[in-house]
Structure 1
């Protein structure tokens, strides 16, 4: 979650971890060495790739919604085919964002995997960044040999990404190495609403049931049926954006107060 937060504060390769707030002052984050940062306007995408030798990890972190124009991307919910000709659709805005960056990310990641063959690879992101982390991971395991055996995907407050066919495809490819964390009454994990577009979540959901951090592990259901005892048990009108801003105390307060950019 600290890596996901750091990505959203627009880490710059030239500045290192300087100037991106409390998340970047965390010892675990500062122990990582930046390899690549990206900030794209069309399609919109931000994030970084880093290596942490202490934990023997390569980290690919995708930025959440922290630009005004990203709000427009979040609302671009029209379905697009994930694979041309296949009967599965995903969020058009998120897919465009990922496809604009994934080629360059893949080139850096492939080189780091060759340089550090025994390091795990972690994809992560919060909110929009979580959706992009999942889509980016799925794209790259299809193009980088050996990535599937090394990857872990951690998303926080991830909105629904695609339809039932896509969720099944994702679960088949990455379901047992993906951890989709949902805070107690986070409204973003219930977006887009099912009455608007028939999207559903992929697994595996870890629902933070209360502020103490008790966790319910969501069970898998066929089709677009989400576990009724997990985050979907919360009525939409009982949700609050404060739960999107609280994942066991993260993001930190200075991140929530940071000024948006265009």
Structure 2
């Protein structure tokens, strides 16, 4: 979550991690070195690549919805083919955001993987950023040799991302190394609604069941049936946006030192 907050804080590369607000003011972020940031207007995309030497991790963090223009991306829910010529459908706005910068991200990541061959590669993000983290992870394990064995994906408040074929593809490649964290009654994880597009979640869900920190580990199924004992057990009308802003007791990304702009 700290990386997700940092990615949403419009990190200034010249200022190092001093530019990522309260996300980087804690001791567990010491030893993190910023490698690259991107801020693209069309298709909109923001994020960072950092190296955490203490943890031996390369981190790719995607920003959530913090620019007004991002609302256009969020609303572009209708599917685009994930792989050209196939029927695998994925959330169009998020796919466009990832594909607009993925070549540059891949270039930087390959260099860092070569420099630090023992480091794990972490993909992460909150909300929109979580969706883009998952898509980018799948894109990159399909094109970078040796990445799959080093990759881990942590997302927070991620919306439904694609159809059953996409979920099945994702689960085959990354389902056993992905941790999709959901907060008790977060409404965003139930979006887009099934009546609009028939999307489903990929594995593996870590449902924060209450404020005390109890966790249920949920598994979804290839036929798009979501685990009825996890976050999908909460009726949509009982959900609150406050749960989307409450993950692990950390301040939500839109409360960091972000520049809200078009």
TM-score range, shorter chain: over 0.9
- Match in the other structure for 2:28: 28
Q: Whole-Å Cα distance in 2 between the matches of residues 176 and 194 of structure 1?
A: 25
TM-score normalized with structure 2 length = 0.97
Q: Whole-Å Cα distance in 2 between the matches of residues 253 and 7 of structure 1?
A: 8
Q: Whole-Å Cα distance in 1 between the matches of residues 251 and 35 of structure 2?
A: 23
Q: Whole-Å Cα distance in 1 between the matches of residues 258 and 99 of structure 2?
A: 28
Structure 2 stretches lacking a partner, 5+ long: none
- Match in the other structure for 1:131: 131
Q: Whole-Å Cα distance in 2 between the matches of residues 90 and 252 of structure 1?
A: 26
Structure 1 stretches lacking a partner, 5+ long: none
- Match in the other structure for 1:154: 154
Work out whether residues 23 and 252 of structure 1, in 8 Å CA contact, stay in contact via their aligned partners in 2: no
Q: Whole-Å Cα distance in 2 between the matches of residues 176 and 253 of structure 1?
A: 27
Q: Summarize deviations over 1:169-212 as a string: whole Å, max 9, x none.
A: 10001000000000000000001001110000000000000001
Q: Whole-Å Cα distance in 2 between the matches of residues 100 and 212 of structure 1?
A: 40
Work out whether residues 9 and 256 of structure 2, in 8 Å CA contact, stay in contact via their aligned partners in 1: no
Q: Which 4+ runs in 1 deviate beyond 3 A?
A: 256-259
Write the mapping of 1:198-217 to structure 2, written as runs, cut at 5 A.
198-217=198-217
- Match in the other structure for 1:145: 145
Using CA pairs below 8 Å that are at least 6 residues apart, which structure has the higher relative contact order? 2
Instruction: Sort the Cα spacing of 1:91 and 1:25 in 2 relative to 1 into closer, same or farther, 3 A.
Output: same
- Match in the other structure for 2:114: 114
Aligned-pair Cα RMSD in Å: 1.4
Partner SS, residue 14 of structure 2: coil
Partner SS, residue 58 of structure 1: strand
Deviation at 1:19, TM superposition (A): 3.5
- Match in the other structure for 2:15: 15
Partner SS, residue 182 of structure 1: strand
- Match in the other structure for 1:171: 171
Q: Whole-Å Cα distance in 2 between the matches of residues 81 and 253 of structure 1?
A: 30
Partner SS, residue 51 of structure 2: strand
Write the mapping of 1:183-202 to structure 2, written as runs, cut at 5 A.
183-202=183-202
Q: Whole-Å Cα distance in 2 between the matches of residues 5 and 253 of structure 1?
A: 4
Partner SS, residue 11 of structure 2: coil
Q: Whole-Å Cα distance in 2 between the matches of residues 151 and 118 of structure 1?
A: 12
Deviation at 1:250, TM superposition (A): 1.8
Deviation at 1:222, TM superposition (A): 2.9
Instruction: Sort the Cα spacing of 1:24 and 1:8 in 2 relative to 1 into closer, same or farther, 3 A.
Output: same
Deviation at 1:87, TM superposition (A): 1.7
Q: Summarize deviations over 1:21-41 as a string: whole Å, max 9, x none.
A: 211212222421001000000
Work out whether residues 179 and 206 of structure 1, in 8 Å CA contact, stay in contact via their aligned partners in 2: yes
